[in-house]
Amino acid sequence: MLNMIWALMILLAVVFAACTGQMSAVTDAALDSAGEAVSLCITMAGVVALWTGLMEIAREAGLVEKLTRGISPFLTFLFPRIPKKHPAREYIATNIIANVLGLGWACTPAGLKAMEELAKLEAERGTEGYGAEKRELLVQRRASNEMCGFLILNISSLQLIPVNMIAYRSQYGSARPASVIAPAIAATLISSLTAVIYCKWKDRGGARK
């Protein structure tokens, strides 16, 4: 659907430019945007490398492990049916910590591993379609409550330092790129609280929703 929307917008822009005699402006804008995209990618690559490196240093220093233990009660409250020693808890905690620090790209590997471990947990529970080799069973597979809850929490995650947004604003010449921190904290705090309340409400009774 998104591809169709973008294709339609590009087509309308080209048709409008052709009808108004502004094709040269469209060409210039396309070339300028391509150059800005490359420049932005280089900037963001540096930001991601910096914060990913800091996360690795924190992991090696044991800081991530301590933070994981610190949010363990929250994980137990949100995911009561995940065993305390299950690997999924560590990946979920790492993902949440990275999100809180604003490292959206750096938290993706942990999020993918968390989903894999949650799928293994469903296989251990004997849920139909998980761990099955037959394609017809795999097609019937549905996300578990824990998977849905984790995805919603990941999307709405609280951010104390919106690193990506600060980098974007700095790249485009903002005089105060860090001025978005307070609004970002307020917005993501509300979204996170809403996500937690919604997940707990839908998960009441423990039945698959």
**Could you give the CA distance from residue 140 to residue 130 in angstroms, rounded to a whole number?**
9
* 102-155 pLDDT per residue, tens: 766 667 778 888 888 888 888 877 676 666 554 444 445 677 888 888 888 888
Residue type, 205: G
pTM for the model stands at 0.66
Q: What is the 3-state secondary structure (H, E, C) of 113-166?
A: HHHHHHHHHHHHCCCCCCCCCCHHHHHCCCCCHHHHHHHHHHHCCCCCCCHHHH
Q: In the predicted model, what is the mean pLDDT of the chain? A: 78
pLDDT number for residue 209? 52
pLDDT along the chain (209 residues), means of 10: 81 82 78 78 74 75 78 86 84 83 72 86 74 49 81 82 76 80 87 86 65
Q: What is the pLDDT of residue 113?
A: 86
The pLDDT value recorded for residue 136 is: 45
* All structural domains of the chain with their residue ranges: 41-206
Which two three-digit tokens encode residue 148? 């849905």
Q: Tokens standing for 93?
A: 């905690």
126, 127, 130, 135 alpha-carbon torsion, rounded to 10° = 110
Helix (H, G, I), strand (E, B) or coil at 100: helix
